[in-house]
């Protein structure tokens, strides 16, 4: 257990350092990828999102808690080739360390496309680190037939 805590602590530290030093790199990132699934005209208050749609409860197959305390929740997120996860939300701002992914589509809870990575001007390169605000109810579809989407999500509770 001590080794797991050490590993997770080092992972969080590494993600924070990577996020800090990759900010310069993000300036060159296609701005069309800087998206947010919160529609400002619909349910833009995370406190009102149903607890039943929290990622860990609504899509447990895809969201595994690695560490949780009063300050953060660290999730391992996986999405198999061709899989579409259940509708869920992330109520806290997060740092995402995306280890691996192919093309994917992010849908809002009504099925409207928020992002289709096939439409980006330049393909995404992995691994990559990014910051995301709270994400309203949404669902991701992995379009790849060979690549599993793998990421670590550090949700900031405070």
Choose the most confident range, by mean pLDDT, from 1-15, 21-35, 41-55, 129-143.
Answer: 129-143
pLDDT of residue 143: 99
pTM of the model as a whole: 0.75
- DSSP-derived pairing of the beta strands 63-68 and 72-79: antiparallel
Which region holds residue 69: left if phi is over 0, alpha if psi is between -120 and 50, else beta?
beta
Note the pLDDT tens digit of each residue in 123-134: 999 999 999 999
Structure tokens that stand for 47 in this block: 């406190």
From residue 24, alpha-carbon distances to 64, 88, 92, 130, 153 in Å are 31, 31, 24, 12, 21
Is residue 126 a contact partner of residue 98, using CB atoms and an 8 Å limit?
A: yes
pLDDT over threshold 70, residue 92: yes
Domains of the chain: 2-156 (2.60.120.10)
């Amino acid at each position: 257990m001590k080794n797991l805590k050490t590993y997770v602590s080092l992972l969080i530290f590494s993600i924070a350092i990577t996020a800090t030093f990759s900010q310069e790199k993000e300036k060159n990132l296609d701005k069309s990828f800087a998206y947010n699934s919160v529609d400002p005209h619909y349910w833009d208050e995370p406190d009102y999102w149903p607890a039943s749609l929290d990622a860990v409860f609504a899509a447990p197959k895809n969201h595994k808690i690695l560490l949780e305390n009063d300050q953060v929740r660290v999730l391992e997120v996986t999405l198999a080739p061709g899989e579409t996860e259940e509708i869920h939300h992330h109520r806290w701002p997060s740092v995402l360390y995306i280890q691996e992914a192919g093309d994917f589509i992010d849908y809002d809870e009504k099925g409207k496309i928020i992002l289709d990575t096939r439409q980006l001007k330049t393909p995404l390169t992995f691994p990559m680190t990014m910051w995301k605000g709270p994400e309203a109810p949404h669902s991701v579809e992995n379009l790849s037939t060979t690549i599993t989407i793998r990421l670590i999500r550090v949700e900031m509770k405070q």
